[in-house]
Amino acid sequence: MVFKLEMNFTFVVEENNEIVGIANGTLVDKSGLSRLGWIGAHPTHQNKGIGKALLKKVIEHCRTKGWHKITLYTTPFLITAVNLYLKQGFVPEAYLRKEWWNVDFIKMSKWL
Ligand SMILES: CC(C)(COP(=O)(O)OP(=O)(O)OC[C@H]1O[C@@H](n2cnc3c(N)ncnc32)[C@H](O)[C@@H]1OP(=O)(O)O)[C@@H](O)C(=O)NCCC(=O)NCCS
């Protein structure tokens, strides 16, 4: 399911009428640079392929739209998330020391 608001996009995974996973993002103006905002699976539904399915959907969506790059920010201690991104072809583009909230972040990107 897709809700479109301007150039924002949201995908959800439902199970028994409950949302158990969500990913959203936005196109930065008309630049072709898409930014993944949130991605998450409900704590009781993690490690079951939901995050991977959502991220694949985001990649497919951005590619279909003709956008050339997806970027996101994560932190080095979110091991599952970093592994998920690496396995789907994202690469670390910048290491941001003490960025938001004095925490280290990694900017990861995938070119389509
Ligand atoms: C990150 C998150 C979205 C991944 O979704 P998920 O449904 O749990 O993950 P999946 O089952 O789809 O697994 C995807 C990949 O994550 C990695 N992974 C999964 N479980 C892992 C674990 N326990 N340890 C390390 N890596 C793991 C693997 O690389 C896996 O790919 P593979 O199955 O091809 O080996 C989910 O764990 C989550 O919501 N975490 C909390 C919120 C969060 O950190 N969001 C990201 C913010 S940047």
What CATH code is carried by the domain that includes residue 49?
A: 3.40.630.30
Residue 85 has pLDDT above 90, yes or no: yes
106 lines ligand 1 (CB under 6 A): no
- Sign of the four-CA dihedral 72, 91, 111, 61: negative
Give how many domains the chain has, as a whole number: 1
Q: Which residue has the tokens 């998330």?
A: 81
What's the whole-number mean pLDDT along residues 54-83? 97
Where do the DSSP E strands lie in 16-67?
18-27, 33-41
41 lines ligand 1 (CB under 6 A): yes
Strands 69-74 and 91-96 come out as unpaired
88 lines ligand 1 (CB under 6 A): no
The answer to whether residues 35 and 25 touch, using CB atoms and an 8 Å cutoff, is: yes
Q: Which atom of ligand 1 is nearest to the CA of 73?
A: 48
The structure's pTM equals 0.93
